[in-house]
Structure 1
């Protein structure tokens, strides 16, 4: 059995990044740019983090960026420590993927999902319909209902053969370098062409009276059929510890629940991955069709593209690309980033992507970012989400990407796709009650041995700053590393110009 911890289904290993409240460090009256190095080194030399691998780059924002008021001074490198060191970035890999997706498609692009009628359309001919998924990570039951209603409105009451075309993204649906516990968690859901409800099954656990099992509810009641639930949870008094483990059998539809929550506490929201997402999509669509009075004779999912495209008779579209990028960045939703990587790969390198959209991703991201001056030798992407420890990125290339996006026509949109300190996304619980709240836009990243934060900082008395901080350490104390990282940000916020 594989497990997933309390509240972690959407972000997975990133959930820790939003779990700590950072208290303000002792106030600094103000520091000159020349003092930044000494201040940061004093933090990275703390005993709890001094043996970790640090990669830090801090630059002033390019003066041609419209993001913030600016003195017009050229870019200045305020500090670097291991800036060209290739490190595991965790979810900071999403900075590259989302920048490329926005550049390649533009903010208004929408991913279509279509239904085609195959074969003859003469009266009495078999009704053969093909649902073509193109990897829309935002597709939900609502879009399935729209498709079914479009068919119903055309007078269709029976489908002889319903084909789910899952061929748009070829190759692996998950990275071979992901760890086993990731594969069954909601944050590690597979990425295919026919995505539905983020390819995850959500469960909510509610405390009851002390000593009683937690009450479980399916987030979507339509997911309940066919599952066995083994609930070994308990409601406990507030003197006890809280923990939740949600897992699933690797080969059967058995859900395992264990752990305990305080009486009167908030419910736990968790999820497990769907292992056969194409089948689940088609099964759910048939249920929606039945609710609209449309029966289906035969159905199957195919992974090979079909030579006859047929005639499009119904379609829905994804949220605009700007919204997909925001979901991937602000909330660090892995499935969205994985889908965006594959979208770029198919659009840029259709030949190679016909074998593996995932493996074509590195080359495609590099090709899109190259015109922005991004050096592809400074990053290697084994996935789009950052779950893989085979990803390697330099802090310098992350800063270069943020600088490039900061001067692009979509600069404000890209910045606003990031989490905001103390306010939104994966930074909503960090920097609260500090002067940094509302003045930092960043992308977090956390694995067991990785902490990362990259983004834009707007000190009140200095030109805006673009930074990337990556920490790798097999014996990493996440709390100590995150506190050190946040103290660096609090220090940079005190920047002021000096003669």
Structure 2
């Protein structure tokens, strides 16, 4: 059906399409209301149309879907078009984890002694720290606690030590009485194949904590905190502090000076792929706040082994060998599209694989001897991790959940098998097979695509599941906590929006639930593509659209 310029479709009542004239509206909007409330329908459509015509966002690509809790359509705009979901991908990953892994699932990290056990507390063999995909071997306090309004935040450095669980396991090893290890300390992350980065992760992200490599042996979110503090005079060198302090891991190349007062920070941090040299340069203003950054750990399993070796030596356990990682590398696999189920059937295909270090005769000899468990640590329950993953949008944790899904419900803990398990879960939830493509679990991949209607379908499907209340509670709450703490901070929406945020390059998303003026809760998904760089205008309009949805329903 053709329409004249300056008109917009605002209601579908029975078989009749009703047009309303607007000023300068050039987009197609179709709205369906189950009870024929044409006034409210027109109001919502016209309000959104007006918002999207604002000059700061008029060239952005918008997709919106709004439905009732029973799935009844309320409003749609480009809801069948594909958008980059950014961190809205975590909705799909965590929902699948809750449904298929279970809220109470835990994972156990172990320290194993492998080799020949001699008198006098001697081990002729290796000490192996075996990762099992625990995302919270860190100083994070669990369960997640929302900030108290008006209360000053406690400084991070007075909380639990980042490596506290490694320290506890080192204490357990020392308590066994072993005094000498004539072998290596090995960080073993072979539970999952060594696929540290998903397809189309941006290389620039690999430096930072939010783009940290993924490992079955993850430690402190696979990141270290770097604090650059100005000196006492202009031109003086700035100080650099690493936390956790482990000088033997990264080599620092520092050239940071103290700039003029109120000059801010121009500090830059760089690390070449595969390198352990961290270059820090620039300036930080006199008397200014320190520049604090989270930097990714190059090889988490190796880092964990290095840390554990140092802890054991500090406790009087002599180690003759070195700290190193043991990875499982996939070789000659088929394409991701086939392996993940996008095309064909890969269920009976077994990819070749090898373990690194290759031809590790010493490890094999140790493994052929006796094995004893010297220390263990049990993770928090999966639900607690899902809460963290969604509240603060933790990329690494979403990626670990994806691999756990592949390991538990697929053939292996690969990215592709995890994506396959999620895909089958979503198809079972009634989502169209062409409405989503996931290449990772966090949304960092630029290949990820999803439609707004697929997202509201997931949210509606979840509402009827036994795990829904727990999962919904993991979403950020407007004006209260997580990534929505600073949005929807005033009545009537404060505490009435439960939604997942997302931001990746020039894409932005917000999807979840809103309690409306009538007391009715509705489901929404708002996605934006190709907004102008360095702007938040689309985010502001997005929030005003949520307010319009709440007011109209």
TM range (shorter): 0.7 to 0.9
Q: Of residues 75, 80, 86 in structure 2, which corresponds to 1:79?
A: 75
Q: Which residue of 1 aligns with 2:164?
A: 142
Task: Check whether the contact 1:451–1:478 (CA below 8 A) recurs between aligned residues.
Answer: no
Secondary structure class of the residue paired with 2:55: coil
Deviation readout 1:92-133 (Å, 9 max, x if unpaired): 111111111111221221121122343566867735433211
Q: Which residue of 2 aligns with 1:481?
A: 538
Secondary structure class of the residue paired with 1:396: helix
Deviation readout 1:241-263 (Å, 9 max, x if unpaired): 55543323445443333455565
Does residue 493 in structure 1 map to residue 550 in structure 2? Answer: yes
Task: Check whether the contact 2:256–2:284 (CA below 8 A) recurs between aligned residues.
Answer: no
Q: Which residue of 1 aligns with 2:468?
A: 411
Q: CA RMSD in A?
A: 2.6
Deviation readout 1:221-253 (Å, 9 max, x if unpaired): 235765224132544434x45554332344544
Does residue 335 in structure 1 map to residue 333 in structure 2? Answer: no
Higher mean alpha-carbon deviation, 118-127 vs 262-271, is at: 118-127
Q: Which residue of 1 aligns with 2:40?
A: 32
Residues of 2 paired with 1:223 and 1:293: CA distance?
20
Q: Which residue of 2 aligns with 1:220?
A: 244
Normalization by structure 1: what TM-score? 0.82
Task: Check whether the contact 2:256–2:267 (CA below 8 A) recurs between aligned residues.
Answer: no
Q: Of residues 117, 126, 129 in structure 1, which corresponds to 2:127?
A: 129
The number of residues matched between the two structures is 449
Does residue 366 in structure 1 map to residue 390 in structure 2? Answer: no
Q: Which residue of 1 aligns with 2:295?
A: 272
Q: Which residue of 2 aligns with 1:72?
A: none
Structure-to-structure mapping, 1:56-67, within 5 angstroms: 56-62=64-70
Task: Check whether the contact 1:199–1:274 (CA below 8 A) recurs between aligned residues.
Answer: yes
Q: Which residue of 2 aligns with 1:89?
A: 85
Secondary structure class of the residue paired with 2:216: coil
Task: Check whether the contact 1:127–1:158 (CA below 8 A) recurs between aligned residues.
Answer: no
Task: Check whether the contact 1:92–1:452 (CA below 8 A) recurs between aligned residues.
Answer: yes
Q: Of residues 286, 306, 326 in structure 1, which corresponds to 2:309?
A: 286
Residues of 2 paired with 1:262 and 1:461: CA distance?
52
Q: Which residue of 2 aligns with 1:5?
A: none
Q: Which runs of 5+ in 2 are unaligned?
A: 1-38, 139-162, 329-354, 356-363
Task: Check whether the contact 1:214–1:235 (CA below 8 A) recurs between aligned residues.
Answer: no
Structure-to-structure mapping, 1:234-383, within 5 angstroms: 234-238=258-262, 240=263, 243-250=266-273, 252-259=275-282, 265-299=288-322, 300-304=324-328, 310-351=371-412, 353=413, 357-383=414-440
Task: Check whether the contact 1:52–1:476 (CA below 8 A) recurs between aligned residues.
Answer: no
Residues of 2 paired with 1:455 and 1:169: CA distance?
31
Structure-to-structure mapping, 1:1-16, within 5 angstroms: none
Q: Of residues 155, 160, 170 in structure 1, which corresponds to 2:193?
A: 170
Residues of 1 paired with 2:317 and 2:408: CA distance?
35
Secondary structure class of the residue paired with 1:494: helix
CA distance change for structure 1 residues 125 and 153 in 2, over 3 Å: closer, same or farther? closer
Deviation readout 1:412-457 (Å, 9 max, x if unpaired): 2211211122221111222234532221111111122101111111
Higher mean alpha-carbon deviation, 403-412 vs 181-190, is at: 403-412
Residues of 2 paired with 1:233 and 1:101: CA distance?
47
Q: Of residues 215, 218, 221 in structure 2, which corresponds to 1:198?
A: 221
Q: 1:173: Cα distance to partner?
A: 0.9
Which structure's CA Rg is the greater one?
2
Task: Check whether the contact 2:61–2:531 (CA below 8 A) recurs between aligned residues.
Answer: no
Task: Check whether the contact 2:123–2:178 (CA below 8 A) recurs between aligned residues.
Answer: no
Q: Of residues 444, 454, 468 in structure 1, which corresponds to 2:525?
A: 468
Q: 1:392: Cα distance to partner?
A: 0.5
Residues of 1 paired with 2:123 and 2:244: CA distance?
37
**Larger relative contact order (C-alpha < 8 A, sep ≥ 6)?**
1
Q: Which residue of 2 aligns with 1:45?
A: 53
Normalization by structure 2: what TM-score? 0.75
Residues of 1 paired with 2:239 and 2:457: CA distance?
49
Task: Check whether the contact 1:246–1:271 (CA below 8 A) recurs between aligned residues.
Answer: no
Q: Which runs of 5+ in 1 are unaligned?
A: 1-30, 63-74
Task: Check whether the contact 1:450–1:472 (CA below 8 A) recurs between aligned residues.
Answer: yes
CA distance change for structure 1 residues 460 and 94 in 2, over 3 Å: closer, same or farther? same
Residues of 1 paired with 2:62 and 2:214: CA distance?
32
Q: Of residues 77, 93, 105 in structure 2, which corresponds to 1:109?
A: 105
Residues of 1 paired with 2:437 and 2:429: CA distance?
17
Q: 1:364: Cα distance to partner?
A: 1.3
CA distance change for structure 1 residues 279 and 224 in 2, over 3 Å: closer, same or farther? closer
Task: Check whether the contact 1:236–1:260 (CA below 8 A) recurs between aligned residues.
Answer: no
Q: Which residue of 1 aligns with 2:254?
A: 230
Deviation readout 1:288-314 (Å, 9 max, x if unpaired): 112222222334432247887944342
Secondary structure class of the residue paired with 1:441: strand
